[in-house]
Chains A and B, each alone.
Chain A
Amino acid sequence: MTILYQSQRAMRAKRQEAMRRGVIAVLDIGTHKTSCLILKFDQTNTMGPAEGIGAMAGQASFRIIGAATTRSRGVRFGEIDMVQETERAIRTAVQGAQKMAQVRVDHVIVALAGARPRSYGLDGEVTLTTGTVTDHDVAQVLAECDLPDLGQGREVLHAQPVNFSLDHRTGLTDPRGHVGNRLSVDMHLLTIEAHAIETLLYCVKRCDLELAGLASAPYVAAVSSLVEDEQELGAACIDMGGGTTSLSIFMKKHMIYADTVRMGGDHVTGDISQGLHIPMAHAEKIKTRFGGVIATGMDDREIIELESETGDWHHDRRTVTRAELIGVMRPRVEEILEEVQARLEAAGFDHLPSQRIVLTGGASQIPGLDGLASRILGNQVRLGRPLRVQGLPQSTCGPAFSACVGLALFAAYPQDEWWDFETPADRLPARSLKRAVKWFRDNW
């Protein structure tokens, strides 16, 4: 746990240094595309947004000066599969963004989509020594949380205090200054596989960059595509990416659950490629151009030519109707959505007061997806697009970039995490002298 504390604090220190310098890059390494945004923080209005525009989630304090997107290579299911290829993809994206921004960036915040995230809800309770809650008490109650057995080779990615309760009052976002006897906290812990982080670190280091932060892709996608009341009242954000479909549940502006379905748009493409016997690139093209999930009578009459160059005339001159294409795509999309529904059900999404579902991500652009999703997931489904951020190019405004934009928002306004509070002295290992002094002070 101490090692985690130290590495996360080191990342936070780097992020603060980057903020002082005013330039930081955010990098979304997805299965389908790798995109990089370069943010420039405005040093002139460090006072924060004026009264009344606080709801803009802080995106007024930075602007995007560079953006580049490239095809991902060597990434499968949101995890880095081939290091060298991924490194080249990162280099391409970073170089393009740097070229556009005409500045050099050294610090990068990365979003991770895959790596099998697992959510834990923790709680801790502490009796207050003094009547008023102080920083020390908050740290103590966070330290009181029992860490579950994370399993072999897993690392904590997010550990966010979600809710504080003081005696019988609950729903406190910041308990400091309140008066009470017992302080308890609910915390959301998100773990991912450690090898994914290590590989990512290696890739980033090979690109001469420094990792200034890590975030979970479903979390940041929700940050950018859920509107404020959805975050407050409870909503699920489903980020349909290329290789993974990740979902996160928000409640009272905190993420309380995140999970990933290891299926995405690339699987749909694969199905088309298999079903129609065409290359992947061609299948991708047909999917983006003619794809859909709800067939109508009109689609029977729309004929798509399947071009290929095998030399076999009969093979090269095939055609399919759009209805057939939809027939290939729909089962896979349904499967994905059903899997998502299963995950949501497992997370207890039914019990939330508001059950809005926001679909975002590149694969959410399939025409008719909202209709299919509302049939599977429930009525309150909408398609989400990322928040509009100053300086974002038109080409990166689509839902495919919601994780990227969310990462930028996350960089500007990071959430308080466990490691942002000082560790209580009695939790520090191998500091026997300090502990002795503390014991002495407490008892005499």
Chain B
Amino acid sequence: MRPLIARREPIPPGQCRDVPTQAPPRAIEPPVARTAPALVPEAPRDPAPSIWSYRVQRLWLTPLFRKLLRVGVPAFVLCFGALAYFGDAERRAAIWDAGQEIRREIESRPEFRVAVVGVEGASDRVIAEVRAAMGLQLPMSSFDLDLAALRDRVEALPSVASAELRIQSGGYLAVRVVERVPALIWQTRDGLSLIDAEGHFVASLDDHVLDRPLPAVAGDGADLVVGEALALHAAAAPLGDRLRGLVRVGERRWDVVLTDGRRILLPAQGAVQALDRALALQDASQILDRDVLRIDLRNPDRLTVQLTRPALEEMHRLRELERETLTGEQNG
């Protein structure tokens, strides 16, 4: 359809406008004054929302419904889908395996690989022991290394006081070991063993080479009072080579045993002071050079001395002699 047009023009004289415009053609087309938009053929019905589209739109504009649809339904679908998917045990296992595979791949990368173990701070024998105790299958991933357990295992070794494990760059596992230092030789019924200053077993004397002489102790419970034993040993230094060792008696007190089998019996309390007294006696009167079997210092008020049998007989003889002399003089 042609646009609706109004033209502003002079009316041609004598022309009836109801007669169809078959006027002589004008030379100049008159200017178009106004144009109206084209008449669109009217639709048979006006567009209107159907009752259902209207209701749906209203429902959609309801805030609660909107929230439910936007959050609730996706959440429900997600949860339901996840539940349905993971409800199958095989699938779960497959996913778990895949996860583990990825994990293993990451763990076995060279960046995390431990190839070398270095043990330091101990003698070769202990180092070998530590290596054996750790028992690592190298190279292995640092994720598989349980350093705390390894440390416990290393520290469980008798000759190791403490250990420090550290994974260093370049796949190096550094183990710093502090060895136990033997302080005493402890003689038991099973044999000779070395114990350190805290009484811990270090090694058997058979498979340990001593780099310096150690004091020897014996008796049950001697390893519990190593400190006291060391103090007594230090106090007994003036005895020199004559000291053979210390014997724990009744897990209560000490005997000092000398090389010729003589003993100094020390009290449970104040053992060092008592030993000093005995050494003072030795200085003053060379009591140990005499025919004495035991010096009993257990009673602090009274020093008791057990003589050797010949000396005892000699003393008895001298006493007899003295008594006879005295009676003779009285008689005489």
Contact = CB atoms under 8 A, between A and B. Distances in A.
A305 B49 contact: no
Nearest to B62: A104
A71 B46 CA distance: 8
Interface stretch (B8-16, B213-221, B261-269, B322-330): B8-16
A301 B11 contact: yes
A207 B54 CA distance: 8
Given A305-B6, A317-B21, A99 B46 contact: no
A305 B5 contact: yes
A440 interface: no
B2 A208 contact: no
Given A314-B20, A317-B21, A95 B49 contact: yes
A281 B17 CA distance: 24
B166 interface: no
Interface of B: 1-11, 17-18, 20-21, 33-34, 36, 39, 42, 46-49, 51, 53-55, 57-58, 61-63
A91 B49 contact: yes
Nearest to B10: A301
A290 B4 CA distance: 11
B47 A322 contact: no
A301 B58 contact: no
A351 interface: no
Contact of A303 (B6, B49, B55, B58): B6
Interface string A259-291: 000000000000000000000011001100110
Given A89-B48, A322-B6, A99 B34 contact: no
Contacts of B5: 305
Contacts of B51: 91
Interface centre among A73, A88, A285, A290 (most CB of B within 10 A): A88
A313 B20 contact: yes
Contact of A319 (B17, B48, B58): B17
A99 B57 contact: yes
A95 B9 contact: no
B133 to A, nearest CB: 75
A302 B17 CA distance: 13
A91 B20 contact: no
A302 B49 contact: no
Given A92-B49, A303-B6, A98 B36 contact: no
Contacts of A94: 54
A94 B33 CA distance: 39
A104 B61 contact: yes
Given A91-B54, A304-B4, 12 more contacts: A91-B48, A92-B46, A92-B47, A94-B54, A104-B62, A104-B63, A208-B55, A208-B58, A285-B4, A289-B4, A302-B7, A302-B8
Contacts of A132: none
Contacts of A319: 7, 17, 21
A307 interface: yes
A62 to B, nearest CB: 19
25 contacts: A70-B46, A73-B46, A88-B48, A91-B48, A91-B54, A92-B46, A95-B53, A99-B57, A102-B61, A104-B61, A104-B62, A208-B54, A208-B58, A285-B39, A301-B9, A301-B10, A302-B8, A304-B4, A304-B6, A305-B6, A305-B7, A309-B1, A313-B20, A317-B21, A319-B7
Interface string A294-322: 00000011111101010001100111001
Contacts of A70: 46, 48
Contacts of A282: 4, 39
A217 B327 CA distance: 164
Given A71-B46, A303-B7, A95 B57 contact: yes
Contacts of B53: 95
Contact of B8 (A91, A98, A303, A313): A303
Contacts of B49: 88, 91-92, 95
A88 B10 CA distance: 48
Contacts of A300: 11
A137 to B, nearest CB: 46
A290 B6 contact: yes
Interface centre among B4, B9, B18, B47 (most CB of A within 10 A): B4
A178 B289 CA distance: 140
Contacts of A428: none
A302 B7 CA distance: 6
Interface in A17-57: none
B21 to A, nearest CB: 7
A342 interface: no
A103 interface: yes
Contacts of A303: 6-9
A163 B46 CA distance: 47
A98 to B, nearest CB: 6
